[in-house]
Amino acid sequence: MATALKDALQTIQTHRDLSPHYAELLDILEEILILREEYRRRMQREIFPVNEKMIAAKMVGGFPLVDFSSVIGDLAEPQAYFLALLEIAEKRAPGETGEMARKILEGEIRFNDLIYESFNPLPLEEEETADDEEEASFDLVELFIEESLRPALEKVAARYGDAVRKADWAEGYCPVCGREPKIGEIRNEEGSRYLFCNQCGFEWNYLRIKCPFCGNEEQQSLAYFTIEGDERYRVDVCNECKRYIKIVDFREVKQKADLDVEDIATLHLDMLANDEGYD
């Protein structure tokens, strides 16, 4: 078992002990991480080829290495991973995810369409309103859709990460896959802010006094809040676009942050941000 996976599982156990109300979600994450490692090792081919001659130009132009705004290629391996992920949910609540798996296997639902729609969502006014139960189930499927590409995109991030870091990427979305971040981390003595992409696992340096979603740099309209008694975690908010991002700062405790795990373990911060009117 890879050292990184062992560390992540230990972090999950720590959070499980401290926050038993997150136990079920952390159990799901544990299964995902073990399955991710299996599929990462199994993956043989390059699913998202990158034109190395275009990397510098893409970085300057603000274009991620992998473009999901157009036609997507052969996703047979990510689809197999997605179907395996659905089994995690099916064990806990038989029915809906099993039906989705059947429709994908029988061609009623195209997996490529799910991926395309994930990166190119409909405008809010075109989305159907779902009740709470449907929304919870949908969110889990959305998590699995995102996760299904992770092993393949991690290979892109590992291979071209150094080239991307040298290019001084200045955008708030991921330079590898274009996904917006949900969480980030404060590092080093200078207090640099790094954003984390849950889609591909890449991290990049981004200005602290700047909104990653709208580019706002007006200090008076940028703020943050913390939870009293635990200032290792905070939420950076923008009062221009009303968006937020969670941030961890483990410098004082000299602890390495696993941002996959911390994103799940800080769902209370998402709820607080939503309650305050941030999306």
How is domain 169-275 classified at the architecture level of CATH?
Alpha-Beta Complex (3.90)
What are the start-end ranges of the E strands in the chain? 183-187, 192-196, 203-206, 222-227, 230-238, 244-248
Model confidence pLDDT, tens digit, residues 180-225: 999 999 999 999 999 999 999 999 999 999 999 999 999 999 999 9
pLDDT of residue 134: 37
Q: ∠ at Cα 141 (136, 144), nearest 5°?
A: 130
Entry pTM = 0.91
Average pLDDT along the chain = 91
**What residues form DSSP beta bridges with 236?**
224, 245
H or E segment at 37?
helix 23-42
Q: Is the pLDDT of residue 135 over 50?
A: no
Model confidence pLDDT, tens digit, residues 227-269: 888 889 999 999 999 999 999 999 988 888 999 999 999 999 9
Q: ∠ at Cα 198 (122, 50), nearest 5°?
A: 85
Q: What is the spatial distance between Cα 176 and Cα 196, in angstroms, rounded to a whole number?
A: 11
Q: Is the pLDDT of residue 126 over 60?
A: no
pLDDT of residue 124: 53
Domain extents in the chain: 3-151, 169-275
Task: Report the pLDDT averaged over residues 83-105.
Answer: 92
Q: Is the pLDDT of residue 278 over 50?
A: yes
Q: 38 or 137: whose pLDDT is higher?
A: 38
